[in-house]
Every structure is written in C-alpha cells, then in structure tokens.
A = this chain, B = another copy of it.
C-alpha cells in the first residue's frame, strides 16, 4: 500500500493539449490501457530517456522524434522491449494509426511510449483500433483518466497540477507519472508526462527538463533495477499568456521552480508507492569529498536489501548502514562518519554515540517516514535519494506478476 500518497485531485487542463483514453484490451484488466495526447501546432516537446543499453523500441523512436513531436501514444500492459526490429515496426504501425486518425498530424510526428511486460510483441491490431477510439475522445480535461490508464503495478494514480505566477503572468503545469517496480531511473522515471501552457523554445525546454529530472525522478530508487522504458516528457503548449525566448529570462527560474515542485512530488509518490512499500525513507548524505561520493553512499544504503529489510522490520540495526557505507566505493574514513535517524544520533566518528539508546532509534524506525542522514565528515556537499522498504509483498508482487 502506498505510504502517504494523497488522493488524486482534479488535474488542471493545459490549453493546447488534448487527451483521449481507451481500453484496447492489452491487459486482462477492465480499465483503460491506452492514451493518446495531442498538441496543437506551436508546442515544443522535451524528453529524457532510460540509459539502459536495452532501450525498448518505443524509447528509440520517441527519442528520435522529439523535435517534430505533435502527439504521444502511450500504452500500459506491454513494454515492447527486447522485441528487436519487429518491435520497432509495431511501434511505427501504432504511431501511423494515430496519424491516420488525425487530419493535420503525420505518423512520424507521433511519439510512442510503452510500459509492462518485456519480451512480448504488441497486439498491434487491437492498438490501432484503440488509437482510433482514443482520438474520438480527445478533451483537454482527461489528465485524471490518463494518470489511471498508464498504471501497471502502481496501487494509486499519481498526478499534480500547479499554477505558477510568474512576472509575465500565470503558467499552468500538470504532470502525471507511473512507477512502482523496475525503478532506478538513470535519466527519467518509468513514465512521466508533464505539460504547461507557456511558450518555450525546444532547446531551452530540453535543458530545463534535464535539470528538473536530475533533482526529482533521478533521485528515486526502489530496487536498483533500471527499466528499459524510462521516459519523461515535458510539453510547452505555448497557448497560455507567458512566452520565454531565451535561457536568461528570469521567468524561466520561476517556471522551473514550479516544474521541480511537481516533478519532486511525482517522484516521491513513486517511491511511496514502490512495490510492497510500507515505509518511505529519504537518505541524505553530506560531507563527501565529491557529489558523486555522496550519491554512491546514498544509493548503497537505499539499495541494500539488508538495510531495506531492516527498515521494513522497523529494526534500528544500524550496523547495516555502516556495511552499506563501507561497500559503497566512496572515499570513506570510518572515524569521521556520523549517522542520524531523524534527530537521533546513533553513531559519531565511526562508533556508537554517547548516550545513544536503541529505544530512540526504534521510535524513528517505527514511523511510516524517516530520514537517514550520513555525514562523511569531509565538508558541506550534500545529496539525497528517496526510497522505500523491502517487504514480503515486494517478493510476492514480483514472484506473481504475469501469473
């Protein structure tokens, strides 16, 4: 069950972006599993994608078509990954079906996104039919339906809207994401789609999306397993009142702050809804010699099965944190290491802190949310990642998925 993910509110429409969803029968479930998203002419699209060398067919295609993108077609239930050349042809066929249903869009302007089981061919005919159905249902206020249609093992839909009041006027932002398992984005989440009504040149938009992803989706790890399909898309429809022409515009900072807020919430909700999650943890590491060293330690802790099962058990078995710090590969001097769980100092300079009582740490570990803070003692650099615990249900979900 998701740890403190707020119920999905009514998401704000973005002028210039229309969405249709349908049940194409890709999964056995009764809910929608296909989304078509159309941008009016003039929109710009940015994207960041998985760093896996086993990039799925839709990821290759979407990345190649970013500059000319006018529509997205998204499906859950089948990842169209490890499907080789035939898989690419399948993705092209589905894109072409979307293009054929629309008067002013060509199939080559459609970007495909898929999530689900790896290694199976797409049900192309069903999806062509689905694409045509979804196009019939295009509306600007379909974001909530889309947030539901992209779910796989997620237990709750994830989406957030925000209006930023910039010096030039209001910018409306809406984002949706799905995650749950196979989550350690290298550049993006499993699937995330954000749109806003400002007008922003593609190059500027792309740079901004990279920065936003680096402090949001790229900070989530559930099982250390990077998907073949991670994709994060940002659309600037250009149909609102705010226009940006260059990197130096001070309004860009205001917009980026808003986007970061939406993206960080979506990213945290992915960790909070991690497969089998019962607790949510923020791992903060400061005082490393470099930012990379801080992240190495943070990931070593956040991905250690021994740490994650201890968090599940609510057991302040802090030796496991030391083990993870030690094996991280970062430059570590144990005699400088300090370890906190929330406000409880467990270890200082590499050994148990004076006055430390296990009951204090046990109180923190019993919470649904906690912060692990490691100070490596070399300075002020700080990094963080978000993660969840490792429960019986993680094993259950992943042993039974597909069956």
Contact = CB atoms under 8 A, between A and B. Distances in A.
Given A305-B224, A402-B315, A119 B79 contact: no
Interface in A173-230: 181-182, 184, 186, 223-228
A243 interface: no
A349 interface: yes
A323 B116 CA distance: 12
A225 B327 contact: yes
Instruction: Summarize A's interface: helix, strand, loop or mixed.
Output: loop
Interface string A83-95: 1111100000000
Contacts of A120: 319
A401 to B, nearest CB: 7
Contacts of A182: 306, 320, 323
A85 B117 CA distance: 52
Contact of A226 (B309, B326, B334): B326
A335 B60 CA distance: 14
B315 A225 contact: no
Nearest to A85: B351
Interface stretch (A28-36, A48-56, A233-241, A380-388): A48-56
Interface string A291-317: 000000000000111100110110101
A349 B402 contact: no
A340 interface: no
A319 B398 contact: no
A25 to B, nearest CB: 20
A228 B323 contact: yes
Nearest to A276: B395
B84 A335 contact: yes
B54 A313 contact: no
A113 B272 CA distance: 40
A104 interface: no
Question: Which of A224, A227, A337: most chain B Cβ within 10 A?
Answer: A224
Given A225-B323, A313-B400, 6 more contacts: A51-B327, A182-B306, A182-B320, A225-B304, A315-B402, A392-B392
14 contacts: A51-B327, A52-B326, A52-B327, A53-B325, A82-B350, A86-B351, A117-B317, A118-B322, A223-B304, A224-B305, A225-B323, A313-B398, A313-B399, A394-B395
